[in-house]
């Protein structure tokens, strides 16, 4: 004898499992929008500055990262210019000179989030 869940109960179980995932995804989507409004180019290639002042471009997708350790607004990751590990923070494009921006775009770390 097999017992099947009625369709409605199966639906509730599925949506209960999906809810926390949707909340997390929604949170990061919102955080990305807020950061973009504040002038940060989040969710793609972002200019970041390491603790030693090196500027480079990295892929910064809030909530998705395999190459760095996230620490709130900063991340611990490898600096491709100084070839060292450092805390890096996003820099608003508007805060950089054209030359700084061009240099930053010429130096890109690994092309994975």
Q: Residues in the site for Zn ion, rule: CB under 5 A? A: 50, 52, 54, 79, 82
Smallest gap from residue 99 Cβ to Zn ion (A): 18
Smallest gap from residue 13 Cβ to Zn ion (A): 49
Nearer to Zn ion, 42 or 48 (CB): 48
Backbone angles phi, psi at 18, to 5 degrees: -80, -25
Smallest gap from residue 61 Cβ to Zn ion (A): 21
Smallest gap from residue 54 Cβ to Zn ion (A): 3
Nearer to Zn ion, 31 or 87 (CB): 87
Nearer to Zn ion, 32 or 86 (CB): 86
Nearer to Zn ion, 38 or 84 (CB): 84
- HEC readout, the chain: CCCCCCHHHHHHHHHHHHHHHHHHHHHHHHHHHHHHHCCCCCCEEEEEEECCCCEEEEEEECCECCCCEEECCEEEEEECCCCEEEEEEECCHHHCCHHHHHHHHHCECCCCC
């Amino acid at each position: 004898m097999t017992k099947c869940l009625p369709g409605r109960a199966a639906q509730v179980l599925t949506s209960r499992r999906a809810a926390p995932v949707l909340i997390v995804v929604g949170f990061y989507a919102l955080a990305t929008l807020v950061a973009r409004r504040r002038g940060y180019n989040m969710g793609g290639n972002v200019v970041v500055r390491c603790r030693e002042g090196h500027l480079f471009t990295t892929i910064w997708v809030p909530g998705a990262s395999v190459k760095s350790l996230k620490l709130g607004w900063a991340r611990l990751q490898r600096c491709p210019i100084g070839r060292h590990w450092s805390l890096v923070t996003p820099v608003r494009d508007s805060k950089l000179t054209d030359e700084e921006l061009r240099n930053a775009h010429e130096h890109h770390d690994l092309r994975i989030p």
